[in-house]
Amino acid sequence: MRLLGLYIFKVMNDFINIMNESTILVKIGGKILENQNNLSSTINQLKTLVFKKKKINKVIILTGGGSCANFVRLVDKKLDIGDNLAHWEAILAMDWNCFKLHTKFPEITLFSELSELINYLNKNSKDRKIILFQSFSFLYNEDRLPHSWKVTSDSIAIHIASKLGLNQCFLIKDIDGILDKDYKIVKELTIKKYQRFRKTKKIAVIPSNFDKLKMYTPIDSYLLKLIQKNKIHIIILNGSDSNPRIIQYFTLSSERDKIYTKISYEF
């Protein structure tokens, strides 16, 4: 019976994966958004996957807060504006970056209400489309996430992905993934394994430089909680213009040749 149960679980999981491959959610980080070459590379790779190679039907894009959110963080640190105001201002920074991205790529459809986005997805399931989503309105009306700097745009991306019924979320950054202490990519991690790696200092850290420290350990504690709670795994991909990591992830047959980090929930 146990083997039968495992088999059924695998079949259902494979079915869900097939369904999820038709629509993906990606969050584009600030370091990609604020570098024109990196941004063009990321958008062009997504367009290639949807319209040329036809590996995906739809891509839903969320944008990080980038420098605007960092400015809010600085103001909060200097003036102590409070968790509530800082939280919503940082999310507004995400919406602002989404709007700016839309002005650069006006052919990408923009949604600002989750209900409208879901309605569109239901009615146009077979259409090939790249979509931008501004999350402030939905998050403000729902107000389910903690008002804290621990809730990053990565966490918000997972939250939105769960509302769309997806079981994976792609985080597009300017790094190849999470590195171990020897600066080699760690491709597969569970939450517990990641926490154990952090605790035993097996993940690369550079204490003298906060930016690099954050770059090499780009996962916060609340993000891990959302991965487990929503049964969503995340995949970190490099959107920089140096290599087509996004296209490679979806097109290469050999896992060995793909460059990414995946963090999975515990079964």
218 confidence band (pLDDT: 50, 70, 90): low
Residues facing 261 on adjacent strands? 236
| pLDDT average, residue stretch 128-141 | 97
**Which positions ≥6 away from 79 have C-beta within 8 Å?**
none
Rounded CA separation 155/2 (Å): 34
Look up the domain containing 111 and give its range. Answer: 2-264
Rounded CA separation 21/80 (Å): 43
CB atoms within 10 A of CB 138: 20
Rounded CA separation 160/62 (Å): 9
Q: Give yes or no for a contact between 210 and 143, defined as CB atoms under 8 angstroms apart.
A: no
Position 125 scores a pLDDT of: 86
* Start-to-end CA span in the chain (Å): 18
Rounded CA separation 237/241 (Å): 12
pLDDT per position as a tens digit, 52-86: 999 999 999 999 999 999 999 999 999 999 999 99
Determine phi and psi for 110, rounding to 5 degrees.
-110, 130
Position 21 scores a pLDDT of: 53
- When computed from its CA atoms, the radius of gyration of the chain, rounded to whole angstroms, is 18
What does the H/E/C string look like for the chain? Answer: CHHHHHHHHHHHHHHHHHHHHHEEEEEECHHHHCCHHHHHHHHHHHHHHHHHCCCCCEEEEEECCHHHHHHHHHHHHHHCCCHHHHHHHHHHHHHHHHHHHHHHCCCCEEECCHHHHHHHHHHCCCCCEEEEECCHHHHHHHCCCCCCCCCCHHHHHHHHHHHCCCCEEEEEECCCCCEECCCCECCEEEHHHHHHHHHCCCECCCCCCHHHHHHHCCCCHHHHHHHHHHCCEEEEEECCCCCCHHHHHHHCCCHHHCCCEEEECCC
Supply the mean pLDDT for the chain. 88
Position 94 scores a pLDDT of: 98
Q: What is the CATH number of the domain that holds 135?
A: 3.40.1160.10
At residue 254, does pLDDT exceed 70? yes
Q: Which two structure tokens, joined as six digits, stand for 65?
A: 């807060």
209 confidence band (pLDDT: 50, 70, 90): very low
The domain total for the chain is 1
